[in-house]
Amino acid sequence: MKFADLHLHTQFSDGTFTPEELAGHGARLGFAAMALTDHDTVEGCARMGVACAAAGIEFIPGTELTAELGDTELHLLGYFLDTHNEKLLREIARFQAVRQNRIHEMVAAINKLGVPLAAESVFALANCKSPGRPHVARAMIKAGLVKNLDEAFEWFLKKGRPAWVPKAKMSALEGIELIHQAGGLAVMAHPGLNRTDDIIPALVEAGLDGIECFHTKHSTAMSERYLEIAEKYDLLVTGGSDCHGFSKNKPLIGTVKLPYEHVERLYAARQNRKSEIGNRK
Ligand code: AMP
Ligand code: ZN
Ligand code: FE
Ligand code: FE
């Protein structure tokens, strides 16, 4: 049976693997298709595409955007993006700049508590345009300020803790539109994590194409629930591990194996979208 992982992060955002390492794990696990969904960037897609091709794996270029609808935060996955689309690149660059400022704000809050962390050490470790909280946490571990990621998040970085700084979010409707105008399909990420089912009808109304039913942190009951919702609203079904690297001493990739039939439906939807746009021109 063929299967896919459509939610993956590399060093181009807060993952720890290079695209080549990630493709290598994909090959070892026998994946037929993989998508890269780094936060607010498509920069890793070129290398990931080459690495997947070399390993005989189909590759789908993507990203993960942080969005909001009213007061509800959600993550939007974009698939089959034109990674050279000007508007997409301009918008994500804006969010990358916000992420970089946010690192300075988090470090300042940490320093205010008397903990000596240098912003430069976070940027050096992140070495990417889309730095985030995991990089702050890893820099704190490296400096011997905390023992592990859990301590960094529990003591400093998680919502409500002293160094938590809210992240600027795109409006969900703009996010869907941004993905569409870049030739992509817009998918709601890990709905079970955010418990945001009440906003699904509005997202569907705004043109949402799919929903991530399978995710490492979804229980079987949750996956079944979202499969029903996908059916009800005629949404595409996706799934992925959301691998950021090692978790409990082994690579997280492999925890979710999306049956390939769903990838075929994504290809068909993308093809339909292309002909619709072609007909309009
Ligand atoms: P950010 O986008 O900067 O707000 O960081 C969000 C990322 O931090 C998520 O994608 C997770 O990878 C990671 N994360 C969030 N909460 C935790 C936690 N409690 N422990 C470890 N990692 C976390
Ligand atoms: Zn992440
Ligand atoms: Fe997410
Ligand atoms: Fe993710």
From the CB of 131, is ligand 1 less than 6 Å away? no
pLDDT for the residue 33 = 99
The full length of the chain comes to 281
CB atoms within 10 A of CB 255: 17
CB atoms within 10 A of CB 277: 12
DSSP annotation string for the chain: --EEE--B--TTTT-SS-HHHHHHHHHHHT-SEEEE--BT--TTHHHHHHHHHHTT-EEEEEEEEEEEETTEEEEEEEES--TT-HHHHHHHHHHHHHHHHHHHHHHHHHHHTT----HHHHHHHH-SSS--HHHHHHHHHHTTSSSSHHHHIIIIISTTSTT--PPP-EEHHHHHHHHHHTT-EEEE--HHHHT-GGGHHHHHHTT--EEEEEETT--HHHHHHHHHHHHHHT-EEEEE--B-SEETTEESTTS--EEHHHHHHHHHHHHHHHHHHHHH-
User: How is residue 135 written in tokens?
Assistant: 């990089």
HSE, CB side, 13 Å, CA atoms: give it for residue 162. 12
254 backbone φψ class: left, alpha, beta (φ>0; ψ -120 to 50): left
- Crossing angle, helix 119-126 and helix 133-142, to 10 degrees? 110
Residue with CA closest to ligand 1 atom 18: 153
Please answer whether residues 212 and 7 qualify as being in contact, where contact means their C-beta atoms are separated by less than 8 angstroms: yes
Question: How many angstroms does the Cα of residue 36 sit away from the middle of ligand 3?
Answer: 13
What pLDDT sits at residue 194?
A: 80
Query: Would the pTM of this model clear 0.95, i.e. be above it?
Result: yes
Q: Ligand 1 in contact with 190 (CB < 6 A)?
A: no
Per-residue pLDDT of the chain (281 residues; tens, 9 = 90+): 999 999 999 999 999 999 999 999 999 999 999 999 999 999 999 999 999 999 999 999 999 999 999 999 999 999 999 999 999 999 999 999 999 999 999 999 999 999 999 999 999 999 999 999 999 999 999 999 999 999 999 999 999 999 999 998 999 999 999 999 999 999 999 999 987 899 999 999 999 999 999 999 999 999 999 999 999 999 999 999 999 999 888 999 999 999 999 999 999 999 998 888 778 76
Measure the CA–CA gap between 148 and 129, rounded to whole angstroms.
Answer: 24
Instruction: Give the per-residue pLDDT at 281.
Output: 65
What is the C-alpha to C-alpha distance for residues 156 and 112, in angstroms, rounded to an integer? 12
Instruction: Please tell me the distance between residue 217's alpha carbon and the centre of ligand 3 in angstroms.
Output: 11
Q: What is the pLDDT of residue 66?
A: 97
Ligand 1, closest atom to CA 150? 20
133 lines ligand 1 (CB under 6 A): yes
Query: What is the best residue among 7, 12, 14, 133 to mutate for testing ligand 1's pocket, by most ligand atoms within 8 Å of CB?
Result: 133
Neighbouring CB atoms inside 10 A of 266's CB total 24
1 Cα to the center of ligand 2, angstroms: 29
Question: Ligand 1: which atom is nearest the Cα of residue 167?
Answer: 4
Task: For Cα atoms 92, 48, 98, give the angle at the middle one, nearest 5 degrees.
Answer: 20
Residue nearest to atom 17 of ligand 1 (CA): 153
- The residue whose C-alpha atom lies closest to atom 2 belonging to ligand 1 is 132
Q: Using DSSP bridges, classify how beta strands 170-171 and 236-240 pair: parallel, antiparallel or unpaired.
A: unpaired
The Å distance, Cα 96 to ligand 3 centre, comes to: 16
